[in-house]
Amino acid sequence: MKTQTIIYYVIFTAISLFNLSKSYSKTEKKTIEDRLILTGKFTNVDQNGTVKLYLWTDIVASSNKYREPYRVFSTKLKNGRFAFQIDSVKTNDYIILSKDELNGQPIPIIDMYRIEQGDQIHVDIHHNGTLKLSSVTDLGKPTYEYQVQFSGRGSNKYQCRYSLDSLKQVYTENFYRLPGNEKARNAATILEISQNEINIEDYITTKQLDFLETYRHKIPSHIFDLVKIDLISTNMKHELKFISTSINEFYTKTDRDLVREHFNNSKLNRLFNGISKETGINSIAFTNTTLEKLRKESIFLYKDKPVHELIYAKYKGQLRDKLITAYLIKNYSSLSNIEAKKILAEANEIIETPAYLKMLDALTILNIGSLLYPFELPDKENKIAKLSDFRGKVLFIDFYYTGCSNCISYNKNTVSVAKEYFKNTTDVSFVTISIDGNRQQWLKSLESKLYTSESAINLYTSGLGGNHPLIKQLKITAYPHSILIDREGKIYNNNFKDLGKNDPNDLISIIKKALNSN
């Protein structure tokens, strides 16, 4: 009997271990399938430093990427080599790979590439000596045009995207070499320039689509379709932006109508209109372009009917949720406080997608009356200025970066006028905060007196730039940007239109209201 018991025990243990090993095997297999492996090597490049990988999940629009949640992974280069292994990624996540930063933001080598679960990619990176930017990186180094080659499991979609981006400049040059197009470079009138722009985008798109066909059987069909949608949408947005600018500059209805007719008949417009909503929903470029198109329709077709109303009228389901979320993330600070809260409340009632509701919830930190992040920032003497130092005063903050021409204009035409008006008012403080990643560059901007003056309190984000918690709280991605804080350290106004984008009297008026409100 004892022997039989032992035999049963041995059999039971063996079966348990077998089932456990199967369970581990399944778990290990699932982990591998959910994983992204990205390795690479830099040649003919400084082989020291840090490489960073930025990853977005459930992103609604690429133009909002730094306003939306993302994860950052970093690793030190070893003999020019790097490796990332990231678990629990999702198909249709997006990545940026970067070695250098400008004002705290990545200078992409891989820029918003779509990934899939199980990708095992190796990337070889080098440059031919061509400078990419006239300015230096945050570490004071030049930035080069990188040439990239992909290999490994899932690499064809990466190589396809890289080739399409690289060929755009080639196709642009080829357009001007075609018979009859030599004079296009010298287009004189706005009408000629806009029509020329439409012709160029149609030509480039045709050529890129022809190239894309060579990958039809090299990448999965759903990826092929999404790359095609991304391509058409990106080119379409560029054309929309240029055409709307041209239309605004025309003085005659005849010219405006001619451009609209040419645009409506363009191949690119027809291609974009042919994208189904069911497939377009998976493209962040499609989201961007749809919002841009709705904005133009709001102005030129619907007599300034609000964009969010057009979204609700034209779209349903998840695409509607995605579009309204993208719209609010991008425009929340430019709406009046009452309008922003109203649209947000309506969106929270209608939207059904949990990830988008979470993104919208994060916007409430921008509401009037919200406490500002309690910053502690150095001035040029490295003395620390704190938000609490300004308690009891109305605080105006102007954010800028060196090289921003609009920042120079804003300081000259608006801020300096308001500063002079309140120069004898002790209850108002004027502060500038530079997002320059390079301290020496910031100090030169102070010396130039183009962006600020010595009478202001000039502070620096200590090289964090756009990654500083204050910039992230306010979701600033365009400059100049200004904000008015009340005597208790709370947001009084975060609307750039109100704060005198076009007229210094607007800024003076609202500062007076802030002074009288406490």
Percent of the chain with pLDDT over 70: 88
Residue 27 has pLDDT above 50, yes or no: no
| pLDDT score at 186 | 62
Read off the DSSP letter of residue 466: G
| pLDDT score at 447 | 96
**Strongest mean pLDDT among 50-64, 211-225, 241-255:** 211-225
pLDDT, tens only, 138-152? 777 777 788 999 999
Percent of the chain with pLDDT over 90: 58
Residue 517 has pLDDT above 90, yes or no: no
Local structure of 427: helix, strand or coil: coil
Give the CA diameter of the chain: 105
The HSE-up count of residue 262 (CA atoms within 13 Å, CB side) is 24
Task: Give the pLDDT band of residue 251 (cuts 50, 70, 90).
Answer: low
Burial class (CB in 10 A: 0-12, 13-18, 19+), 306: middle
| pLDDT score at 15 | 47
Cα–Cα distance measured from residue 53 to residue 45, given in angstroms and rounded to the nearest whole number: 18
Task: Give the pLDDT band of residue 12 (cuts 50, 70, 90).
Answer: very low
CA distances from 170 to 103, 126, 149, 174, 176 (A): 30, 20, 18, 6, 10
Least confident of 10-24, 27-41, 119-133, 246-260: 10-24
Residue 238 has pLDDT above 60, yes or no: yes
Mean pLDDT across 295-303: 80
| pLDDT score at 4 | 54
pLDDT, tens only, 334-380? 888 889 999 999 999 999 999 899 999 989 988 899 999 999 999 99
**pTM for this model (two decimals):** 0.84
| Angle between helices 284-300 and 317-331 in degrees, nearest 10 | 70
Inter-residue contact 108 to 65 (CB < 8 Å):
no
Copy the structure tokens of residue 56. Answer: 């977005």
Residue 381 has pLDDT above 90, yes or no: yes
| pLDDT score at 194 | 73
Mean pLDDT across 451-478: 92
Cα–Cα distance measured from residue 37 to residue 119, given in angstroms and rounded to the nearest whole number: 6
pLDDT, tens only, 413-452? 999 999 999 999 999 999 999 999 999 999 999 999 999 9
Mean pLDDT across 245-273: 73
- Architecture in CATH of 376-516: 3-Layer(aba) Sandwich (3.40)
| pLDDT score at 313 | 94
Read off the DSSP letter of residue 401: -
Cα–Cα distance measured from residue 191 to residue 245, given in angstroms and rounded to the nearest whole number: 11
